[in-house]
Structure 1
Amino acid sequence: MVKTGLKQRMIGQFHRPHGVGGRIAGWVMAHRASNRRRNVWVVELLDVRPEDRVLEVGFGPGIALGELAARATRGRVYGVDHSAVMVGRAAKRTRAAAGRIELIHASVDRLPSFGEPLDAVLAVNSSGFWPDPPQRLRELRGLLRPGGRIALASQPRCPGANRDTTARAAGELRELLTQAGFTGLRVETLDLDPPVACVLGLNPR
């Protein structure tokens, strides 16, 4: 029973990292090879341009943020995460691009203003934890310029996850984006174990 409780607390750290356990979870997320491949792949799919203004929701240790900053060289990269531990870790990881990256400690249901419209938004393995995901996605669509892009990615981490689990996750993400008013949806898959699904969409013009 004690072991089960400890395991559940550690799993919870990947949802909302905090304290010593959160720092351990952050180290695992930053150094797991599949996490890096997944994040780099999603950024590549988003086709970020040098002038783009991009937001990542739930950036964790900041792997994708660094990739975004390497592409949006004349733009601006924003990151929102509800974990102060992850904000600190991501700040260290992206220190070299600090002048072009703004990290914000906030939850997705309390997003700040970003001034001008955004060109792209992404979330990797975080949308499943959001309160009222369709409403959050409608709010994110309101932050995008007409024709702006969104990428939602999911690599299921439940016990026994396989290709079928990933396919179901992709279907759920498609439905959420459809409900929020995004169009031009397409699904891409990265062949990891289990596979990663990324659903991309557009804010209608």
Structure 2
Amino acid sequence: MGILEDKRRARLFYKYLSKVYDTVNPFIWNEEMRAEALTMLDVEEGDRVLDVGCGTGFATEGLLEHTENVHGLDQSVHQLEKAWDKLGKHDPVSFYRGDAERLPFKDDTFDVVWSSGSIEYWPDPVATLRDMRRVVKPGGQVLVVGPNNPKSTVMQKVANAIMLFEMGPSYDPDIAITTVARDPDEE
């Protein structure tokens, strides 16, 4: 069991990680990777966007390059404090403390729902994806960006220790979803 499977332990983990998160993050998830992921979305200037698991606001910054109306959600108050310090004065960006499995928004609220580096910590990814679908407007877009297989054995052991999903021999990045989720009934 990874240390982040339990939400209480995850909050404690991020309390301390938030102090160095922005220093460590570029080695795992950098601006080039973020820009590449954002090309999978068609975000228009007036779109209302939800960033699920926004952490310290790294992806939120990228989303703000496409629209001003970004809403970040994270379970860690410490991560949100960092995000607010960086971006809180950028109106109308808003930050909310909440659970990805129970999004505190009404149905059909957002044009785009985005999450990066968060799915591997969701105890019930299917429930979270359903709730994302609930809050995205009909015809809207949902993109979830997750980790790739670590290249070194050491990094794989570190990832397996903290992530909900082990990325060992059965992990196959070739089956990762890399397209924008669409309603199967519309295809």
Which one of 78, 82, 104 corresponds to residue 85 of structure 1?
Answer: 78
Please say which of residues 32-41 and 49-58 is displaced more in the overlay. Answer: 32-41
- Judging by fraction of residues, say which structure has more helix: 1
- For residue 23 of structure 2, the aligned residue among 25, 28, 52 is 28
Partners of 2:133 and 2:107 lie apart in 1 by 14
Alignment CA distance shift 1:69-1:138 (3 Å): same
Q: State the aligned residue count.
A: 165
1-structure distance, mates of 2:62, 2:147: 19
Contact 1:56 1:78 in 2 (8 A): yes
* Alpha-carbon displacement from aligned partner over 1:135-181 (angstroms, at most 9, x marks no partner): 211111011112111111122365536xx98x82452x54xxxxxxx
Higher relative contact order, chain-length normalized (CA < 8 Å, sep 6+):
2
Change beyond 3 A, Cα 1:86–1:170 = farther
Q: Does 2:149 correspond to 1:154?
A: no
Report if aligned partners of 1:150, 1:200 keep a CA contact under 8 Å in 2: yes
RMSD between superposed Cα atoms in Å: 3.2
Taking the aligned partners of 2:32 and 2:45, their CA distance within structure 1 comes to: 22
The aligned counterpart of 1:71 is 66
Secondary structure of the residue aligned to 1:200 is: coil
Paired amino acid for 2:74: D
Instruction: Provide the rounded CA distance (Å) in 1 between the counterparts of 2:27 and 2:118.
Output: 17
Can you give the 5+ residue segments of structure 2 that lack an aligned partner in the other structure?
Answer: 5-9, 157-167
- Separation in structure 2 between the aligned mates of residue 115 and residue 148 of structure 1, nearest angstrom: 12
The verdict on how the C-alpha distance between 1:142 and 1:37 changes in structure 2, with shifts beyond 3 A counting, is same
Q: Report the Cα offset of residue 201 of structure 1.
A: 1.5
Name the TM-score, length of structure 1 as normaliser. Answer: 0.67
Residues 100 and 24 from structure 1, CA distance in 2 versus in 1: closer, same or farther, beyond 3 angstroms?
Answer: same
Secondary structure, counterpart of 1:70 in structure 2: coil
How far apart are 1:96 and its partner, in Å? 4.5
Within the alignment, does 1:123 sit opposite 2:115 as a pair?
A: yes
Aligned sequence identity (%): 22
Is the contact made by 2:102 and 2:128 (CA closer than 8 Å) also made in structure 1?
no
Equivalent residue for 1:58?
53
Structure 2 CA distance for aligned equivalents of residues 47 and 72 of structure 1: 11
In the alignment, what sits opposite 1:184? none
Deviation at 1:95, TM superposition (A): 3.5
Relative to structure 1, the CA distance from residue 93 to residue 52 in structure 2 (aligned partners, 3 Å threshold; closer, same or farther) is same
Alpha-carbon spacing, 1:155–1:109, altered in 2? closer, same or farther (3 Å): closer
Task: Provide structure 1 residue ranges, at least 5 long, that are not aligned to the other structure.
Answer: 1-7, 10-14, 175-186, 188-198
Give the CA deviation at 1:38: 2.1
DSSP-derived class of the 2:44 partner = coil
Change (3 A) 1:129 1:34: closer
Distance 1:85 1:66 in 2: 18
Find the aligned partners of 2:133 and 2:108 in 1 and give their Cα distance. 13
